């Protein structure tokens, strides 16, 4: 199966075009401004006298932003952004050491400690800079940045793989492994692929430096990667590692790596993933925990982890062509990822909880002056640890990557969005307002083609020829096929072992998870019981610009008694639900995805 790079796809309208325009017109500038204010941009000047001390992974924050700019340039040149990136490359060139080494913190603050502390993100930063340099080269044809990063990769290879004189062997935060695969793809320099394989193969083979607050599993270093079957530890580190494992499995035909990835994926989606596609439920270690441990109020579910899951699934799709990976991509895209930025494109969530109770934050603040252990209730413009906003900037412009795969005879359609794609001599034009509507028309021009169209996970029965979860069409040159998926809202329940969701339902319409917000339904959402017959009315919410749902629901009667004999008396109400991704755009409010049902 071959991938179709987003540069061959133009998103022409609809849901994702709106988001891509938002990133281009607002978010990319908003993130830059906040990075500028906080000193991240000037840090590239390597000013040892600056009052602002650079953080160990500021390089990576800015690199992800540069990568995002590169992706935006693919469709349309943006001179002001290109000028900023060129300025940053000037500084990288100026401050890179003769040997190839480049890192802000370990040059300005602790030059004596290079490659001594596994947990200080040097190789993680290097990886993000490499990814940015590949993207910028591909977007502009300019090689300077890529050449600088090749020099750095050569130096890393020398120190880690040839001389082996560093204090640790594998990165504390994975990222460089997948970046080196990209470096190999663009330069065809096999050493980069081999260096990636070296880092993946060596992980878990020895005890490396370890903080006393965490175990080796935090870095997925508890056992060699080929023996791993469970998703463990820090979720972003994990997904970036799994991406590299899948990349290498594909390029080396490595069956052991492939099986490990398959086992780990199954563990994630069967035990450790929220209905939103969010992963990494625990604040402690920003990590995966035990199966079915999916609390809603304190869900950690970092935005970067949702992105990491999509990146991993995409590689698994290329490796296996199994439809389940595209299902999970869709789940994360429309929910756990999309909630990460505001509808105005200026602010961000790091954690994406499935329930918000502002009163608990207030309670904590009274006692401690700050909220402990609970995600923030409103998106903010920048974080002290601001890895997520630039990840969003690089992710949305490249969303076309997830739409298609192809082989000699067939084209696979995985995601639905209004777009025109050039694939192997064929033009594919999708017209749709998905996910608002389930109607999709797909026109094929160029030559006769067999189309395999993914039947979404929420479709129970499909009339027509199917194979392994895809609807099959033999399409003649110039022909258009029509699909119409049923988008009827549905009540979903969780596995009984997810105790947090016991007796509750979530509402999904198509791939979109819905939620209740206090601003629509008043306080104390936990008392609302959704009518079990699940009849919904659809209404456009013009304020939010989303499709809202209304349904019959019940509340108990208010009472003064703290405790009283059980009563079956109910007040009937109309509950309003909005897409989960749109929550927290109208001020602070209660929110919940899982509600009681009656
Ligand atoms: O450590 C770098 C990034 O910051 C991680 O990927 C995030 O989880 C956050 O810890
Ligand atoms: Zn993040």
Q: Determine the distance separating the centroid of ligand 1 and the alpha carbon of 587, expressed in angstroms.
A: 27
Q: Determine the distance separating the centroid of ligand 2 and the alpha carbon of 339, expressed in angstroms.
A: 13
Do 114 and 50 meet the contact criterion of CB atoms below 8 Å apart? Answer: no
Pairing state between β 449-454 and 410-413: parallel
Question: What's the mean pLDDT in 488-514?
Answer: 98
List pLDDT tens digits, range 261-307: 999 999 999 999 999 999 999 999 999 999 999 999 999 999 999 99
Atom of ligand 1 nearest to the CA of 57: 2
Q: What number of other Cβ atoms are within 10 A of residue 112's Cβ? A: 7
List pLDDT tens digits, range 416-470: 999 999 999 999 999 999 999 999 999 999 999 999 999 999 999 999 999 999 9
Q: Which ligand is nearest to the CA of 350?
A: 2
Q: Atom 4 of ligand 1 has which residue's CA nearest to it?
A: 387
Q: Determine the distance separating the centroid of ligand 2 and the alpha carbon of 164, expressed in angstroms.
A: 31
* Substitution site in 117, 122, 128, 173 for ligand 1 pocket (most atoms within 8 Å of beta carbon): 173
Q: Determine the distance separating the centroid of ligand 2 and the alpha carbon of 302, expressed in angstroms.
A: 6
Look up residue 527 and give its two tokens: 């008392």
Q: Atom 3 of ligand 1 has which residue's CA nearest to it?
A: 387
> Is residue 363 very low, low, confident or very high in pLDDT (cuts 50, 70, 90)?
confident
With a pLDDT cut of 70, the percent of the chain lying above it is 98
Question: What's the mean pLDDT in 509-530?
Answer: 98
Q: Determine the distance separating the centroid of ligand 2 and the alpha carbon of 308, expressed in angstroms.
A: 10
- Cα 466 from Cα 157, distance rounded (Å): 47
pLDDT value, residue 211: 67
pLDDT value, residue 367: 78
Between the two ends of the chain, the Cα-to-Cα distance in Å is: 47
Do 163 and 155 meet the contact criterion of CB atoms below 8 Å apart? Answer: no
> Pseudo-torsion of CA 168, 189, 312, 236, nearest 10°?
30
Look up residue 522 and give its two tokens: 């008043």
Look up residue 597 and give its two tokens: 């049902």
Look up residue 270 and give its two tokens: 């069967």
Q: Atom 6 of ligand 1 has which residue's CA nearest to it?
A: 236
pLDDT value, residue 370: 66
Q: Which ligand is nearest to the CA of 172?
A: 1
Q: What number of other Cβ atoms are within 10 A of residue 31's Cβ? A: 28
Question: What's the mean pLDDT in 49-62?
Answer: 97
- CA-nearest of 353, 340, 333, 334 to 380 is 340
SS (H, E, C) 486-511: CCCCEEECCCCCCHHHCCEEEEEECC
- Cα 598 from Cα 258, distance rounded (Å): 44
Q: Determine the distance separating the centroid of ligand 2 and the alpha carbon of 522, expressed in angstroms.
A: 32
Q: Which ligand is nearest to the CA of 237?
A: 1
Q: Which ligand is nearest to the CA of 307?
A: 2
Q: Determine the distance separating the centroid of ligand 1 and the alpha carbon of 564, expressed in angstroms.
A: 48
Do 82 and 140 meet the contact criterion of CB atoms below 8 Å apart? Answer: yes
Q: Determine the distance separating the centroid of ligand 2 and the alpha carbon of 57, expressed in angstroms.
A: 12
Atom of ligand 1 nearest to the CA of 286: 8
Tokens 């935005």 label which residue? 303
Q: How many residues in total does the chain contain?
A: 598
Q: Which ligand is nearest to the CA of 120?
A: 1
List pLDDT tens digits, range 206-250: 988 666 667 899 999 999 999 999 999 999 999 999 999 999 999
- CA-nearest of 395, 392, 448, 441 to 419 is 441
Look up residue 74 and give its two tokens: 């693919």
Looking at every residue in the chain, the average pLDDT score rounds to: 97
Atom of ligand 1 nearest to the CA of 234: 8
> Is residue 365 very low, low, confident or very high in pLDDT (cuts 50, 70, 90)?
confident
Q: Determine the distance separating the centroid of ligand 1 and the alpha carbon of 358, expressed in angstroms.
A: 26
Atom of ligand 1 nearest to the CA of 385: 4
Cis ω before 296 (30° cut-off from 0): no
pLDDT value, residue 250: 98
Do 323 and 468 meet the contact criterion of CB atoms below 8 Å apart? Answer: yes
Atom of ligand 1 nearest to the CA of 240: 6
List beta partners, residue 411.
Answer: 406, 451
Q: Determine the distance separating the centroid of ligand 2 and the alpha carbon of 118, expressed in angstroms.
A: 19
Look up residue 281 and give its two tokens: 């439920």
> Is residue 364 very low, low, confident or very high in pLDDT (cuts 50, 70, 90)?
confident
* Substitution site in 240, 302, 390, 395 for ligand 1 pocket (most atoms within 8 Å of beta carbon): 302
Question: What's the mean pLDDT in 54-82?
Answer: 98
pLDDT value, residue 212: 67
- CA-nearest of 332, 297, 344 to 585 is 344
- CA-nearest of 39, 82, 6, 107 to 384 is 39
Q: Which residues line ligand 1 (CB under 6 A)?
A: 57, 173, 236, 286, 302, 304, 385, 387
Do 585 and 341 meet the contact criterion of CB atoms below 8 Å apart? Answer: no
Residue partners of 41: CB distance under 8 A and separation at least 6: 32, 35, 62, 88
Q: Determine the distance separating the centroid of ligand 1 and the alpha carbon of 246, expressed in angstroms.
A: 21
The helix (run of H) or strand (run of E) holding residue 150 is: helix 144-156
Tell me: pLDDT of 366 over 90: no
List beta partners, residue 473.
Answer: 451
* Substitution site in 213, 238, 304 for ligand 1 pocket (most atoms within 8 Å of beta carbon): 304
- Cα 178 from Cα 288, distance rounded (Å): 21
Q: Which ligand is nearest to the CA of 175?
A: 1
Residue partners of 70: CB distance under 8 A and separation at least 6: 85, 132, 135, 136, 138, 139, 140
| DSSP code at position 234 | B
To the question of pTM greater than 0.95 for the whole model, the response is yes
Q: Which ligand is nearest to the CA of 241?
A: 1
pLDDT value, residue 215: 86
- Cα 296 from Cα 72, distance rounded (Å): 35
Pairing state between β 595-597 and 529-530: parallel
Look up residue 275 and give its two tokens: 């209905």
- CA-nearest of 182, 180, 219, 223 to 201 is 223
| DSSP code at position 588 | S
Q: Determine the distance separating the centroid of ligand 1 and the alpha carbon of 236, expressed in angstroms.
A: 7
> Is residue 368 very low, low, confident or very high in pLDDT (cuts 50, 70, 90)?
confident
- Cα 114 from Cα 104, distance rounded (Å): 11
Q: Atom 8 of ligand 1 has which residue's CA nearest to it?
A: 236
Do 299 and 353 meet the contact criterion of CB atoms below 8 Å apart? Answer: yes
List pLDDT tens digits, range 113-144: 999 999 999 999 999 999 999 999 999 999 99
């Amino acid at each position: 199966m071959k991938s179709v790079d987003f540069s061959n796809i133009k998103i022409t309208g609809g849901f994702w075009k709106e988001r891509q325009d938002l990133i281009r017109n607002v978010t990319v500038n908003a993130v830059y401004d906040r990075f500028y204010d906080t000193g991240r941009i000037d840090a590239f000047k390597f000013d040892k006298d600056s009052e602002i001390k650079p953080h160990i992974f500021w390089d990576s924050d800015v690199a992800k932003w540069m990568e995002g700019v590169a992706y935006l340039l693919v469709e349309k040149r943006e001179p002001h952004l290109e000028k900023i990136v060129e300025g940053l490359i000037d500084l990288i060139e100026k401050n890179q050491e003769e040997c190839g080494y480049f890192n802000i913190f370990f040059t300005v603050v602790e030059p004596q400690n290079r490659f001594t502390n596994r947990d200080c993100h040097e190789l993680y930063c290097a990886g993000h800079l490499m990814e940015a340099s590949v993207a910028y080269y591909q977007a502009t044809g300019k090689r300077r940045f890529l050449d600088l990063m090749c020099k750095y990769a050569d130096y890393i290879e020398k120190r880690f793989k040839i001389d082996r004189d560093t204090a640790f062997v594998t990165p504390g935060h994975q990222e460089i492994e997948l970046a080196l695969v990209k470096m190999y793809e663009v330069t065809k320099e096999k050493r980069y692929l081999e260096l990636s394989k070296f880092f993946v193969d060596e992980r878990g083979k020895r005890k490396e430096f370890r903080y006393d607050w965490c175990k080796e599993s935090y870095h997925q270093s508890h056992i060699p990667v080929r023996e791993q079957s469970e998703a463990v530890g820090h979720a972003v580190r994990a997904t970036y590692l799994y991406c590299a494992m899948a990349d290498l499995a594909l390029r080396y035909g490595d069956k052991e790596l492939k099986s490990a990835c398959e086992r780990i994926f199954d563990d994630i989606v069967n035990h450790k993933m929220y209905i939103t596609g969010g992963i990494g439920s625990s604040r402690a270690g920003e990590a995966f925990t035990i199966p079915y441990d999916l609390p809603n109020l304190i869900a950690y579910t970092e935005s970067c982890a949702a992105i990491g899951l999509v990146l991993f699934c995409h590689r698994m799709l290329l490796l296996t062509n199994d439809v389940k990976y595209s299902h999970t991509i869709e789940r994360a895209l429309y929910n756990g990822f999309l909630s990460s930025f505001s509808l105005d494109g200026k602010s961000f969530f790091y954690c994406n909880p499935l329930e918000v109770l502002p009163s608990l934050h207030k309670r904590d603040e009274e006692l401690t002056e700050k909220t402990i252990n609970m995600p923030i209730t409103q998106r903010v413009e920048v974080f002290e640890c601001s890895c997520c906003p630039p990840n969003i900037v690089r992710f949305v412009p490249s969303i076309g990557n997830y739409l298609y795969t192809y082989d000699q005879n067939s084209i696979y359609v995985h995601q639905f969005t209004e777009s025109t794609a050039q694939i192997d001599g064929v033009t594919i034009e999708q017209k749709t307002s998905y996910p608002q509507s389930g109607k999709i028309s797909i026109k094929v021009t160029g030559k006769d083609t067999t189309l395999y169209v993914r039947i979404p996970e929420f479709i129970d029965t499909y009339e027509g020829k199917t194979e392994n979860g895809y609807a099959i069409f033999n399409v003649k040159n110039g022909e258009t096929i029509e699909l119409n998926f049923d988008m009827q809202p549905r009540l979903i329940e969780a596995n009984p072992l997810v105790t947090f969701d016991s007796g509750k339902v979530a509402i999904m319409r198509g791939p979109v998870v819905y939620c209740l917000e206090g601003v629509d339904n008043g306080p104390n959402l936990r008392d609302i019981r959704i009518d079990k017959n699940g009849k919904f009315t659809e209404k456009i919410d013009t304020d939010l610009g989303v499709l809202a749902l209304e349904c019959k629901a019940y509340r108990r009667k208010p009472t003064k008694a703290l405790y009283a004999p059980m009563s079956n008396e109910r007040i009937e109400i109309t509950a309003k639900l909005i897409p989960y991704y749109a929550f927290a755009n109208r001020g602070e409010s209660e929110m919940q995805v899982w509600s009681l049902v009656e």
